Every structure is written in structure tokens, then in C-alpha cells.
Amino acid sequence: MMDIVDLRYLAAAANAGNFGRAAKSLGLDTSTISRRIGRLEDELGFALFERAKSGVHLTAGGQPLMGHVNRTLAEFDAVVRAAGETGSGNIGAIRLGVRLPPVGEPLVSLLAGWRERHPNVALTIAEMTEPAMAKALELRRLDVGLITSFTPCGSAASMPLYVERLVAAVPHDHALAVRKSVEWADLRDEDLLIQEWDESQATRELYASLLGQSVRFSAHAASKQSVFALVAAGFGVTLATVSQATVSVPGVVFRPIAETNACLQIDLVWRPELEDAAVGRFVAYLRDETRSRRLV
């Protein structure tokens, strides 16, 4: 049966106008080219070349065939190149799940560096809770995720990426708003607004370990921006990362927390047994970049 090699021999012979020159360009014996083209002619049922002492040239039946042959070879070569790029991780797609929106540093510059080095790898982001992210990784709806280190990640592998400081977000007319910094003791008597969904109380447990078990929590299954809106309206205070505090929120003042443990470690999670080349490159890039920047 005809195969891609036959088409390459056919194109080489047509371009060279001579079986000998075609064979030389391919690093083959002339007999190999002649034999394969003869077999191809038998299969097609008509002569592709007229043979003469001066060389060969396409027959009336062979000439229109060459357009299809050249297009087929070009498409095949494109497939081979694309496969090579995909296998090397230079093209592809990465589905990234995040718990905290990627605003501010260091995540923005990390993603910008990745984009600069791998412009042909598409990146999509899904913001979701940690349990939902663990499930999405298990079902292969996500490739990698960024979660806080205190969150269980099931069977996924994890790696520390960077540490973010925590700040207090208070109403602009709150007594703490005039302070240069606050301490945990200043926040213990406040209503602490948190993001919380039925399937996870990890945030509540973390903040209770920092502020004490007597803290009054007000849980909301909402975005951080919605929680900030409640802070601005005077419903309480909340904790945020420094990167989240880079976004201006009307009616909200951010104040540093003067405590050594006022920080969150952000981990990368993924399924090594399921990663493709692009995902493997992404994981390696984040690992190397965060180490070189000493973010952990």
C-alpha cells in the first residue's frame, strides 16, 4: 500500500527530473527510488513518469497528482513539527486553579515570566475553593493548583512556592484605621469576616489558631471583593494577603499585622502521574523561579 515514503520519493524524483539525482538527495540507491516508484505506478494503475536517457518527467496523469502529493507532505510535516513541539512542552495548554486571585506579587511576575518564555502555551485560570480544586485535579479538569499550605490536597503532590504576609482590612472610620500596624490582640474582639463554604472550614481553623478560639467569625460564601464590601459597610474586619491589598477598595484601609506568624504559605499542587510536557515545564519553572528568588 502507498505510504508517506512513496510520496517523498515521488516528490524528490519530480523535483530532480532524474532518479539518480533524487536518490542522491535522499541518501539512497537509484534502484530503491526506481523500484518504489514502479510499485506505486502499479498500484495506481498508470505511469507517473516518462523515462528517457536524459532523465524523467511527469506524465499527463502524474502532473495533477503532484499538487495533492505536495500538500499531503506539507501537512504531514506540520503534524510532525506540532507533535515535536507538544512533546517538548513548547506548545500546549495549562489549566491553573487558584484559591486567591492572582493579583500583586509575586504571582503576577511569575506568570509574566512564564508567558515570556512560553508564548505558545495557553494558560487558563479557574478560581475555586480548595475542596473543589482537589476534586478538579482528580477528575483532570485542572492541571495544577495554588492553595494555602494548611489545606489538604488529597493524593496530589505539593510543593511550597512562596509566602505572603497577612494584613488587616478595616473600615476607613474604624479606630484601628489610624494605627500604623495592628497585633492579633487588637483584632480578637472584632467580628472577623471570612470566606467559607460548607465543604471547608480550613480558613476558620487557621485564623482561630492565630487569633484564639474565642474570635467571632462571620462566614460568607462569597468572593474576597464581596467580603471587602462588607468591611467597608461596617460589618466587621477581615484578613487579606499583601497582594490582595494592592487593589484599592473604597472605604477599606489595610494595616500591617506586627506578628511573626501573620503569613500564609502558598503551595503548588498537581498530579505528577498525569502531567504532560507543558505541565511538567510549568511545575519546573515555578520551582526554579521561586527558589532563585528565595520566596520560600
pLDDT tens digits, 120-145: 899 999 988 888 888 888 888 999 99
| Between 101 and 218, the higher pLDDT residue | 218
pLDDT score of 90 more than 70: no
Question: In whole angstroms, what separates CA 242 from the centre of its chain?
Answer: 24
Taking a C-beta distance cutoff of 8 angstroms, is the pair 63, 56 a contact?
no
Span 88-108, average pLDDT: 80
pLDDT number for residue 168: 97
Strand partners, 170: 253
pLDDT at position 180: 95
Ramachandran area for residue 35 (φ above 0: left; ψ -120 to 50: alpha; else beta): alpha
pLDDT at 152: 66
190-220 confidence digits (pLDDT tens): 999 998 887 677 788 889 999 988 899 999 9
Query: Residue 109 to residues 54, 112, 132: CA-CA distances in angstroms?
Result: 65, 5, 26
Average the pLDDT over 13-33 and give the result. Answer: 91
Instruction: Look at residue 201 in the predicted model and tell me its pLDDT.
Output: 79
Average pLDDT estimate for 84-100: 75
Q: Where exactly are the structural domains of the chain?
A: 4-88, 93-296
Tell whether the model's pLDDT for residue 272 goes beyond 60.
Answer: yes
Check whether domain 4-88 has CATH 3.40.50.261, yes or no:
no
Say if CB 107 and CB 146 are below 8 A apart.
Answer: yes
Q: Give pLDDT, residue 131.
A: 81
Assess contact for 186 and 173: CB atoms under 8 A. Answer: no
The pairing of beta strand 121-127 with beta strand 92-98:
parallel
pLDDT at 271: 87
Rounded to whole angstroms, how far apart are CA atoms 71 and 292? Answer: 47
Backbone angles phi, psi at 264, to 5 degrees: -125, 135
CB 103 within 8 A of CB 246: yes
Is residue 162 within 8 Å of residue 296, measured between CB atoms?
A: yes
Mean pLDDT within 171-187: 96
For the domain with range 93-296, which CATH number is right: 3.40.190.290, 3.40.50.300, 3.30.70.260, 3.40.50.2000? 3.40.190.290
Is the per-residue pLDDT at 281 higher than 80?
A: yes
Confidence of residue 292 (pLDDT cuts 50, 70, 90): confident
- pLDDT value of position 89: 55
Q: What is the mean pLDDT of residues 83-109?
A: 77
pLDDT exceeds 70 at position 58: yes
Task: Dump pLDDT digits (tens) for 216-262.
Answer: 999 998 888 999 999 999 999 999 999 889 888 999 999 999 999 99
Within 10 angstroms of residue 119's Cβ, the number of other Cβ atoms is 10
Q: Residue type at 113? A: G
Q: Quote the pLDDT of residue 100.
A: 75
Query: What is the pLDDT at residue 171?
Result: 97
Is pTM beyond 0.75 here? no
- Residue 101: predicted pLDDT: 75
Determine the pLDDT at residue 188.
93
